Amino acid sequence: MNHPRLYPSTQNVFRSPFAEAVKSKVAEVQKKNNETIQISSSIMAFYQMIIKLQSHIDKSNFILDEIHDILYENFNDISKDDYELLKDDLLSVIKSSSKVYSQIKKDKNIYSAVKTNINNMLQSISSLREIFNDILVFRVKLPEDEEYLKLEAAINAL
């Protein structure tokens, strides 16, 4: 007895209804899988960018801390001339670092990914700003203040 084949190997005739449904679902899954791979690749690229951003922030923090440490270690030797020489550079790095902090803080998604790193940067900026102000007050302005000089002389005379 000759029965027609349900799944002929060379032609698409006599397919059963469930085979059409399965083929349709397989095609749908394949499409979703391809889309998922593309999304996954994009996410991996995004994570790599976040890791790179964290690395850049950490390196900037390290350098800001190095600047602070150099100024702190040499605080008593800093002159008014040194201050004048470094003032614009220090103000510039404080300003640009603050701008980085502000820009990242504005975007909640990026901020949440680098929160610790960027908050460390804020601390480094604050420390640098504080020592910069201390240099201005204690190494530049006070040595020129007549009242301070008289008080210092009186204390030293004791």
Give per-residue pLDDT as tens, 85-99: 999 999 999 999 999
State the pLDDT confidence band at 105, using cuts at 50, 70 and 90.
very high
Asked whether residue 32 carries a pLDDT value surpassing 90, the answer given is yes
DSSP state of 39: H
Six token digits for residue 4: 């027609």
Cα(first)–Cα(last) distance of the chain, in Å?
Answer: 127
Please indicate whether residue 6 or residue 15 has the higher confidence score (pLDDT): 15
pTM: 0.75
Asked whether residue 134 carries a pLDDT value surpassing 70, the answer given is yes
Please indicate whether residue 149 or residue 2 has the higher confidence score (pLDDT): 149
Tell me what the pLDDT averaged over the chain comes to. Answer: 90
What percent of the chain clears pLDDT 90, i.e. is strictly above it? 71
Contact of 71 with 78, CB cutoff 8 Å: yes
Q: What is the mean pLDDT of residues 9-16?
A: 58
Q: How far is CA 127 from CA 44, 45, 61, 133, 155, in A?
A: 35, 34, 11, 10, 30
Question: String of b and e for 35-48 (b: at least 16 CB within 10 Å)?
Answer: eeeeeeeeeeeeee
pLDDT of the residue at 130: 98
